[in-house]
Amino acid sequence: MQTQNRTAGFTLIEILVVVVIIATIVSITMLSFGVLDNDRDLRTEGQRLAALMKVAQEDAVMQGREFAVEFMTSSYRFVEYDALTGQWNDIPGDDTLRLRTLSEDLEFELYLEEKRVLLKDRPMSFGEQEAGLVRSASEVYSPHLLVYSSGDATPFELHIWRRFDDARFIVRGDALGGIEFGEEEDD
Instruction: Return d(Cα 37, Cα 26) in angstroms, integer.
Output: 17
The pLDDT assigned to 181 comes to 81
Domain ranges of the chain: 12-182
Instruction: Return d(Cα 86, Cα 54) in angstroms, integer.
Output: 24
Flag whether the pTM goes above 0.95: no
Is residue 186 predicted with pLDDT exceeding 80? no
The pLDDT assigned to 159 comes to 93
Q: What is the mean pLDDT of the chain?
A: 82
The model's pLDDT over 100-126, given as tens digits with 9 standing for 90+, comes to 999 888 999 999 999 999 999 888 877
CATH 3.40.50.11740 fits 12-182, yes or no: no
The pLDDT assigned to 68 comes to 93
Task: Taking residues 83-109, report their average pLDDT.
Answer: 88
Give 94-122 as a 3 state SS string: CCCCCCEECCCCEEEEEEECCEEECCECC
Is residue 158 predicted with pLDDT exceeding 90? yes
Instruction: Return d(Cα 164, Cα 31) in angstroms, integer.
Output: 14
The pLDDT assigned to 113 comes to 92
Consecutive H or E run containing 179: strand 179-182
Which residues, including other chains, have CB under 8 Å from residue 23's CB and lie 6 or more apart?
Answer: none
More confident residue, 66 or 134: 66
* Cα separation values, 88 from 55, 65, 81, 162, Å: 18, 12, 4, 31
Instruction: Return d(Cα 45, Cα 123) in angstroms, integer.
Output: 19
